[in-house]
Amino acid sequence: MFKKLSLLSLLLAFCLVANAQQTAADFFNIGVSKSKSADYIGALTAFSTSVAMNPENAQSYYNRGLAKQALKDHRGAILDFDRCIDLSSKDALAFLYRGLSKSAQDNYRGSLQDFNRSLELNPEDAYAFLQRGIIRIKLSEYRRAIEDFNSVLDLNPDNDSKYQAYYSRGYCRAQLDDYRNSITDYSKSIDLNPKRSQSYASRGFSRMKVEDFVGSIKDFDEAIKLNPEDSDSYYNRGFAKSKIEDFRGGISDYNTAINLNPGNVAAFYGRGYSYSRLNNQRNAINDLTKAIEIGNNEKNAKVVYAGPLTKGTLNNLRAAIKDKGSIETFSEDRSEAYYTRGVANFISGDEKDALEDLNKSIELNPTYADAHFKRGMVRSTMGLQYEAIADFSNTIKINGSYAEAYYMRGLIKHTIGDVNGGCYDLSRAGELGYSSSYNIIREYCN
């Protein structure tokens, strides 16, 4: 006799058959659709399935690389573009976007080689010229960068690329001390896109260099209207005011610059100078001392929370990390007991005893990665950020796949002003599977 199948069994069987009938092309199209709707994690999953079903399709690797790039997973993106190029060596766009990911990892020479190859394959691509010019700026090849921006403008691309080319060419000319022509380029950039604060700020800086302080103040006014959180523009406007001996106006701007960025040592210098000129020597000495000391001796200096990711945000994100550990086998050296008691003390708010226990645990077992990590968490909570970075670095040396250690090290680096280093670590954490990194990357690494 035959057994009667339940409705649930029939439905499950039907789903399995339906899924088996989906092809690599179907999953590829799903990936494209999810990418268009900015569901990049969903797109990754779909393209990965497409790759598994048809590992010889170059476009699946290319599109998965784009999805990884959108998630700032540049290492993973480069691997996918590598595979795409292996399968389709004449794909100019694969070279172009691999170059962008290499640039994001500060591999500027490798990026330049990719842009060169992309332009060999497609010499009419204004965007590739623009990106190569930007890389040449990073390599301090300003004259050659200007040639690339000239090519962009000769190709007469869309207005977005034009304003970027004018702005970037203006920047190069400023670096070559050609401030008057840089002002001309910045002005053309502003004509095309009058809503970009950095264009006004850069033109204001060039105007200061040609001693047009009144004109520069007007530019910084516009920059600040568009971006009221721009500490540097407040500092530069204050500097221009100091140049025309408006010291009280300068102090007002320096105050705002410092409130926005307590690590803006130039603003402490400018404010100290202005106080001195107003014969307030006590405040002048206090500010000038800060200008000298902040960030001067990295390991011995008081921690300055100078990054766009604030101390308060760091505290909240650190507190949100869940203990992933499980019970360890009890060893003769009892390091696990010290570790666990340290964790209990930390949770109870007794940071001093927690630190003592974790120190002892590490002394007994120097390769105990969890103990190094937890000590880093305790030290960070206590405000000992440089020591915490050392702990997280040791955690990574012991266990290179410890995603939370990259995440925490990235957060702290970012918070104390090492934005590039912090974003690099956050990207690595995301690559290792700590998906919360991508939320931070999207908000603080662009």
Its domain, for residue 433, covers 311-444
> For residue 202, is it within any domain?
yes
Lowest mean pLDDT across 156-170, 180-194, 315-329, 383-397: 315-329
Q: Are residues 275 and 363 in the same domain?
A: no
> For residue 225, is it within any domain?
yes
**pLDDT tens digits, one per residue of 400-421:** 999 999 999 999 999 998 888 8
* Backbone φ/ψ region at 72: left (φ over 0), alpha (ψ -120 to 50), beta: left
As a whole number, mean pLDDT of residues 18-29 equals: 79
Residue 197 — pLDDT band, cuts 50, 70, 90? very high
**pLDDT tens digits, one per residue of 213-229:** 999 999 999 999 999 99
> For residue 387, is it within any domain?
yes
**pLDDT tens digits, one per residue of 303-353:** 778 777 888 888 888 888 877 655 566 667 777 878 888 888 888 888 998
Q: What is the largest CA-CA distance in the chain?
A: 105
CB-based contact 172:146 (threshold 8 Å): yes
**pLDDT tens digits, one per residue of 57-72:** 999 999 999 999 999 8
Residue 296 — pLDDT band, cuts 50, 70, 90? low
State the CB neighbour count (10 A cutoff) for residue 446.
7
Q: Are residues 317 and 429 in the same domain?
A: yes
> For residue 20, is it within any domain?
no
> For residue 223, is it within any domain?
yes
Q: Are residues 331 and 426 in the same domain?
A: yes
384 or 2, which is more confident = 384
> For residue 379, is it within any domain?
yes
CB-based contact 289:271 (threshold 8 Å): no
> For residue 337, is it within any domain?
yes
Domain closes at, from 294, 319, 349: 294
pLDDT over 70 percentage in the chain: 91
Q: What percent of the chain is helix, strand and coil (3-state, nearest 5)? A: 75, 0, 25
Per-residue DSSP letter, 328: P
**Rounded to the nearest 10 degrees, how much is the dihedral formed by the CA atoms of 70, 71, 77, 81?**
-20
What pLDDT is attached to residue 284?
80
Domain closes at, from 259, 294, 329: 294
Lowest mean pLDDT across 200-209, 263-272, 303-312: 303-312
As a whole number, mean pLDDT of residues 144-148 equals: 97
Query: What is the domain count for the chain?
Result: 2
Domain harbouring 222, CATH code? 1.25.40.10
Q: Among residues 115, 122, 161, which one has the least CA distance to residue 138? A: 115
CA 199/CA 183 separation, integer angstroms: 10
Q: Are residues 416 and 350 in the same domain?
A: yes
Question: What are 221's two structure tokens?
Answer: 């006014």
What pLDDT is attached to residue 5?
39
Question: What are 386's two structure tokens?
Answer: 């440089």
Q: Are residues 321 and 378 in the same domain?
A: yes
Type of residue at 152: V
Residue 178 pLDDT greater than 50, yes or no: yes
Q: Are residues 269 and 315 in the same domain?
A: no
What pLDDT is attached to residue 10?
35
CB-based contact 99:138 (threshold 8 Å): no
CB-based contact 72:441 (threshold 8 Å): yes
**pLDDT tens digits, one per residue of 95-140:** 999 999 999 989 999 999 999 999 999 999 999 999 999 999 999 9
What pLDDT is attached to residue 8?
33
Q: Are residues 326 and 405 in the same domain?
A: yes
> For residue 371, is it within any domain?
yes
